[in-house]
């Protein structure tokens, strides 16, 4: 998944705790092997090679995650769209390579989640347009984190933190206190702009500093606006708090693309969801629920 993995847990039996840690790391590697767009042997890569030619039979896990991605697309009115990879595949952030405006224009019609056809009876996926590609980078890490939390629960772990890059989920509390999760300054990695106390919750941050390069004064980052095929510019980072990491990751990408005003309204329309947005000028915006909690904490 191209990101750092971190796990903290408490277990009465140290040996069982070590076994649980090993299970988490193996699950992260398993998801990466299946869903990496960079591994030619992955299930995702096979799908991108073959699905425009004929329906491709996929695993139940892949089918359900693509279906969930389409649900986010519909919920966000297209802000979240895994077919962004139809243009995104032409970027190389490590080497500072970007497509030309002509290449973006030619590939842009391939970005549309409606090009994906799902057949639940056959468990197949098909792309109805040539040159469509998908990338699960906006949801797969959250999915992996949720899987790992389920594995820990099954092994009797009741207090844990699982982190995959910007996506985290806490199980229970931290020995009687909340887990304290920081939100970093998008322009200064060693500075935290906020710290949130969490118990049994997930939190995802999407930022324009995760994978990017700059050229001619423009920051080209990996969160592409499906409408334009170019990097979204309304926010520097978006943090979403919610019940599970698959949800918070998908919503964080959606809100990032929407921008602060529409993004806050969208987050506030969803039950159990809160948001912290650092906009393009570096100003912070929060949903009303978080603002009330912050006021109550100061007054306590």
pLDDT tens track for 131-188: 999 999 999 999 999 999 999 999 999 999 999 999 999 999 999 999 999 999 999 9
CA distance 267 to 200: 19
Region 261-273 average pLDDT: 97
DSSP string, 67-130: HHHHHHHHHTTTSS-GGGHHHHTT-BTTTTB---HHHHHHHGGG--GGGEEEETTTTEEEESST
pLDDT number for residue 199: 97
Q: Do the Cβ atoms of 192 and 185 come closer than 8 Å?
A: yes
> Residue 210 has what DSSP assignment?
S
pLDDT tens track for 5-49: 999 999 999 999 999 999 999 999 999 999 999 999 999 999 999
Confidence category of residue 261, pLDDT binned at 50, 70, 90: very high
Q: What is the mean pLDDT of the chain?
A: 95
Confidence category of residue 3, pLDDT binned at 50, 70, 90: confident
pLDDT tens track for 225-241: 999 999 999 999 999 99
Domains in the chain, ordered, with CATH? 168-299 (3.10.520.10)
């Amino acid at each position: 998944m191209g990101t750092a993995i971190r796990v903290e847990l408490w277990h009465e039996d140290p040996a069982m705790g070590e076994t649980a840690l090993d299970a988490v790391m193996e699950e992260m590697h398993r998801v990466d092997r299946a869903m990496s767009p960079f591994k030619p042997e992955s299930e995702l890569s096979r799908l991108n090679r073959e699905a425009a030619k004929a329906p491709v039979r996929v695993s139940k896990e892949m089918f359900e995650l693509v279906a969930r991605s389409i649900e986010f697309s519909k919920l966000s009115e297209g802000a979240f769209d895994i077919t962004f990879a139809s243009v995104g595949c032409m970027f190389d952030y490590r080497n500072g390579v970007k497509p030309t405006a002509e290449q973006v224009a030619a590939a842009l019609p391939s970005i549309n989640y409606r090009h994906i056809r799902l057949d639940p009876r056959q468990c197949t996926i098909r792309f109805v347009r040539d040159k469509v590609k998908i990338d699960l980078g906006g949801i797969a890490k959250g999915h992996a984190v949720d899987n790992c939390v389920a594995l820990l629960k099954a092994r009797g772990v009741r207090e844990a933190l699982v982190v995959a890059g910007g996506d985290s989920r806490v199980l229970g509390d931290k020995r009687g206190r909340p887990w304290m999760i920081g939100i970093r300054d998008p322009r200064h990695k060693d500075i935290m702009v906020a710290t949130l106390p969490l118990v049994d919750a997930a939190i995802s941050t999407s930022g324009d500093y995760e994978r990017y390069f700059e050229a001619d004064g423009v920051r080209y980052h990996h969160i592409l606006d499906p409408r334009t095929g170019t990097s979204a510019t309304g926010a520097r980072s978006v943090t979403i708090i919610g019940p599970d990491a698959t949800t918070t990751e998908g919503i964080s990408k959606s809100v990032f693309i929407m921008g602060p005003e529409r993004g806050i309204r969208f987050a506030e329309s969803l039950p159990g969801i809160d948001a912290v947005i650092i906009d393009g000028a570096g100003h912070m915006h929060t949903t009303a629920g978080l603002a009330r909690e912050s006021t109550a904490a100061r007054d306590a």
